[in-house]
Amino acid sequence: MSNLPYEPEFEQAYKELASTLENSTLFQKKPEYRKALQVVSVPERVVQFRVVWEDDNQQVQINRGFRVQFNSALGPYKGGLRFHPSVNLSILKFLGFEQIFKNALTGLNMGGGKGGSDFDPKGKSDNEIRRFCVSFMTELCKHIGADTDVPAGDIGVTGREVGFMFGQYKKIRNSWEGVLTGKGGSWGGSLIRPEATGYGVVYYVEHMIKHATAGKESFAGKRVAISGSGNVAQYAALKVIELGGSVISLSDSQGALVLKGEEGSFTNEEINTIAAIKVERKQISELATTEAFSSKFKYIPGARPWTNIVGRIDVALPSATQNEVSGDEAKALIAAGCKFIAEGSNMGSTQDAIDVFEAHRDANKSEAIWYAPGKAANAGGVAVSGLEMAQNSARVNWSREEVDTRLKNIMEDCFNNGLATAKEYATPAEGVLPSLVAGSNIAGFTKVAEAMKDHGDWW
C-alpha cells in the first residue's frame, strides 16, 4: 500500500510466504484463508522508544529501542532481541513475521515477536553495555512478562546482556519470573540452549539426508560448508564433526576461512579457538595468519563460502545473517555438487536463490539440491527457549540428555510436518522431492490461522 513506509526485508519475508501459499492448493481448498493472511501480516503491537545512556566518558548517548509484538494466537510473544547498528523496524518486522511460523512449527505454545536496538556492543566496555541494558530494560519492562512476551538473545545479545536486563527487570517489577530466555545456568537457564540452534539445524538435515537417500547415507563423509562463526555456526560445526562429517569453512563479516584441498576438516580445538576470539569480538582474520591456521586454511577477505572457493560441497549451512546466499551463489552451490542446504540464519537465502534451488529440485530427482528454510531448519533455538520457559514455570531443571532428546524430537516433528504438508498442498511430480519451503510455510501458517479464527481475529 502506498501509505506504508518502504520496508524491504519485511516485504521480502511477506512475499516469500504469500507466494508459497498462492502457488499451492491451500487457497483453492480453503479460500477463506486469504483473509487470515491479511490479518497475520499486521503486527498486533509495535513498541518504539528512546534509550538514553551514559558512556565511560560521561557523555550521553541515544539509541532507538523496539519491540514488535507480532502475533499471540499460540502463546506469549516469543523472539529475540538484536543489538546491532543495522537494526530498524523493517528488519525486526521481518524477523518477527518469520518467528510466528517458526514457533508454530515447534509445536510449543509460543507466539511471535522480535525486538532490539541500533546499539552496537562492539568496542563497548562491560560498564557501558550494562548501563545501556539497564536503560533499555527500564522501558521494555513495561511491555513484557512471562505470560505476555518473553524475549531472548539474538545478534549482539549474549548471556551477559540477558543477565544485565534480567537484573533490571527484577528490580523494577519486584518479580522473579521466566521473562527472558538464554539465562545463566545457575539462575534459570536451560542446558543446551547455547547449542540449540546449531544442533537443531544439523538434526533437521539428518532427516533430509535420510529421507532423500532412503536411509543409505548420513553426515558421515559429507563435506559441509558453514558460514558465520557465532553460536549457531560453532555448534553446528561441532555437531557435524561428531556425526562424522567434515567442516570445510567458517566465516565472519570480513571474510571466509576455508580448508585447503579436498581432505581434512576443522577440528573441535580449532572451532573452540575461533569461539574464544569471537567472545572478545575479534575477527577471524586475526587467526588466519598464525602458523596453526595458515598451514591448513586459506583466508579470503570479503568472500562467503559459496563462491567457488571451497571445492566440492555436499551440505551447505548458511548460519550468519539474512540474504547471505544470492542467486548466483545458489548456482555456484549446485555446480559444486551440493545436495542439501538448510538455513541456520533467518532468511539466509535471497528470493532469487530460493527460486534457483526450487527450480533445480523440480527439474531433477535424485540429483537435485534440497532446500530447507530457516523457519523450519533453525527452529531448535526457540524450541529450547520454549523448554526453558516450561522449566521456569515448573521451577525444575532438566538434564542435558532430556533437553537434547526433546530437541531431537521437535526437529523430527518439524521436518515430518513440513514434508507431509508439502505432499498435501504442493504435491511434487513422481520421484521429485517435496518442497520443504512450501510445506513449512503452509504448516506454520495454517496452525496460526486456525488459532486466530478460534479467537475471532478473522472469520
Catalytic residue check, 408: no
Amino acid present at 80: G
**Whether 349 contacts 323, CB under 8 Å:** yes
Assess contact for 255 and 302: CB atoms under 8 A.
yes
Q: Determine the straight-line distance between the first and last CA of the chain, rounded to whole angstroms.
A: 23
DSSP string, 396-445: ----HHHHHHHHHHHHHHHHHHHHHHHHHHSPPPTTSPP-HHHHHHHHHH
Please name the residues in contact with 200: beta carbons below 8 A apart, sequence gap of 6 or more.
377, 378, 379, 380, 381, 383, 384, 407, 410, 411
> Whole-angstrom Cα distance, residue 275 to residue 406?
26
Segments in 243-284 forming alpha helices (H) = 268-279
Cβ atoms of 225 and 313 closer than 8 Å? yes
What is d(CA 287, CA 274) in angstroms, rounded to the nearest whole number?
Answer: 8
The catalytic residue among 78, 93, 114, 183 is 114
Hey, what's the cell of 155? 545478534
- For residue 139 the three cell numbers come to 522501558
Under a CB-based contact definition with an 8 Å cutoff, are residues 287 and 273 in contact? Answer: yes
Phi-psi region of 101 (alpha: psi -120 to 50; beta: other; left: phi over 0): alpha
Pairing of strands 149-153, 77-83: parallel
Number of H helices, E strands in the chain: 17, 12
Specify whether the backbone of 92 is left (phi greater than 0), alpha (psi in -120 to 50) or beta. alpha
Rounded to an integer, what is the distance from CA 53 to the centroid of its chain?
A: 29
Question: Is the distance from CB of 449 to CB of 241 less than 8 angstroms?
Answer: no
CA distance 291 to 242: 26
CA separation for the pair 142, 149 (Å, rounded): 11
Task: Round to whole Å and give the CA distance between 356 and 376.
Answer: 19
Active site residues: 114
